[in-house]
Amino acid sequence: MARWHALILFLAAAVGAAEPVTLRIGFFPNLTHAPALAARQLEREGQAWYASRLPAGVQVEWRAYNAGPSAVEALFAGSIDATFIGPSPLLTGYVRTRGEGLRLLAPIAQGGNALVVRKGLGLKTAADFRGRRIATPQLGNTQDVDARVWLRSGGLRVKTGPGGDVSVLPMANPELVMLFSKGDVDAAWTVEPWVSRLTSEFGGEVLVERPDAFVTVLAASSKSLAQSARRDALVAFTRATLALRDRLVAEPELQLRLVRAGLAAETKSAPPAEALIRSALGRIRLVAPAADAAVRRRGLAEALGQSLRDSVESGILPATLPVDPLLENLVDDPAR
């Protein structure tokens, strides 16, 4: 009898024990994803940021992508649970699933998003780009949508590839830099550190910049959030990310060191010049929440609504949707 009693207690404890959870998190090797780069570098230095800030049994596994549309596909495929991402591909995935598939957890960064043109071409307005070629990181990513909306504001018909008044050519950022350096494209709309590389290393100049626009958010799949243990882990991960954001803002030299080393590790190359990274970080603002939660939510809703309208105007999306459901899992700042 005692043996059966012990077995029952053992089974009860096993059932009540927390199941191990591996959070699979997407990110891009861009400075607009600074918290992810910093966290990855801290792990390499033996100071894993999330280790003591997540529930027992939760581990983080990172997956790198070039741009948002690829990360959205990974969310839908179940390859990742959450990702750092730009607003345009997030909204595209949201509309594709009729508002059901994705949820925003927190805003991360603003700025660091610009159109760089080759000097000497006389490109000053959108109308000047007739017959020109512009590179963007990926079809439907935030910079790609920004480029299309801006060009259309100059009365141009925009095509992907040949045709139309102007050609927008989506490609990976390293390829974008190479073609710009060779003169095979006239301009590029991209993010940091690629903006600073184009201007400091290849003679480009910034023509259009969006310093206040949201460039990165943290978002999760609704499927992952529907699982209780995984949802709790994602909330804890988001809070820890916001805490890391606060530390990076408070210690800019630490941020500089970590993201510079992190970029070198992610791209398997020599660390970028310190001056280049310092300049690039100057274009990016890690988002601090508004003191009033309602003000923060309203600001996010307005910004996302505008991004959604831009995507429709650019032909990426067929129609708009209310954005309020997208914000229903917004995680409050840990300091509040």
Q: Is 117 or 141 the better-scoring residue by pLDDT?
A: 117
Across the range 289-318, mean pLDDT stands at: 80
Same domain for 251 and 103, yes or no, is: yes
The CATH number that applies at residue 312 is: 3.40.190.10
DSSP 324: G
Convert the pLDDT of each residue in 231-279 to its tens digit.
999 999 999 999 999 999 999 999 999 999 999 999 999 999 999 999 9
CA angle (312, 159, 128) in 5-degree steps: 100
Which band of pLDDT confidence, cut at 50, 70 and 90, is reported for residue 136?
very high
Residue type, 52: S
* Percent of the chain residues past pLDDT 90, beyond the cut: 70
Same domain for 107 and 120, yes or no, is: no
pLDDT at 4 over 60: no
Same domain for 226 and 321, yes or no, is: yes
Q: How far is CA 249 from CA 90, 148, 222, 255, in A?
A: 25, 32, 30, 8
Whole-number pLDDT of residue 54? 95
CA angle (293, 299, 300) in 5-degree steps: 90
Asked if residue 7 belongs to a domain, the reply is: no
35/27 Cα distance (integer angstroms): 10
pLDDT at 318 over 90: no
Q: Is 160 or 151 the better-scoring residue by pLDDT?
A: 151
Whole-number pLDDT of residue 17? 44
* Percent of the chain residues past pLDDT 70, beyond the cut: 91
Q: How many domains does the chain have?
A: 2
Across the range 281-301, mean pLDDT stands at: 81
Nearest CA-CA partner of 274 in 285, 283, 263, 265: 263
Same domain for 124 and 92, yes or no, is: no
59/20 Cα distance (integer angstroms): 8
Last residue of a domain, one of 209, 243, 262: 209
pLDDT at 168 over 80: yes
35/313 Cα distance (integer angstroms): 32
Strand order in the sheet with 204-209: 158-160, 166-170, 133-136, 187-191, 113-118, 204-209
Same domain for 165 and 220, yes or no, is: no
pLDDT at 18 over 90: no
Asked if residue 51 belongs to a domain, the reply is: yes
Whole-number pLDDT of residue 67? 84
Same domain for 165 and 293, yes or no, is: no
150/313 Cα distance (integer angstroms): 10
Which band of pLDDT confidence, cut at 50, 70 and 90, is reported for residue 320?
confident
Whole-number pLDDT of residue 135? 96
Same domain for 75 and 124, yes or no, is: no
Other Cβ atoms within 10 Å of 117 Cβ, number = 25
Return mean pLDDT, the chain: 88
pLDDT at 209 over 50: yes
Asked if residue 1 belongs to a domain, the reply is: no
Same domain for 218 and 190, yes or no, is: no
Convert the pLDDT of each residue in 50-99 to its tens digit.
999 999 999 999 999 988 889 999 999 999 999 999 998 899 999 999 99
The upper half-sphere exposure of residue 97, i.e. CA atoms within 13 Å in the direction of its Cβ, equals 20
Same domain for 142 and 281, yes or no, is: no
Asked if residue 236 belongs to a domain, the reply is: yes
Asked if residue 101 belongs to a domain, the reply is: yes
pLDDT at 10 over 50: no
Last residue of a domain, one of 189, 209, 229: 209
- Domain limits for position 265: 19-111+214-327
Q: Is 143 or 12 the better-scoring residue by pLDDT?
A: 143
DSSP strand pairing (187-191 vs 214-221):
unpaired
Q: Is 18 or 16 the better-scoring residue by pLDDT?
A: 18
Asked if residue 149 belongs to a domain, the reply is: yes
Asked if residue 306 belongs to a domain, the reply is: yes
Whole-number pLDDT of residue 334? 47
- Coil, strand, or helix at residue 208? strand
Whole-number pLDDT of residue 116? 98
The upper half-sphere exposure of residue 101, i.e. CA atoms within 13 Å in the direction of its Cβ, equals 17
Same domain for 173 and 269, yes or no, is: no
Asked if residue 332 belongs to a domain, the reply is: no
Last residue of a domain, one of 209, 244, 264: 209
For residues 104 and 330, the answer to whether their CB atoms sit within 8 Å is: yes
Same domain for 56 and 199, yes or no, is: no
Same domain for 312 and 248, yes or no, is: yes
Residue type, 67: A
312/110 Cα distance (integer angstroms): 22
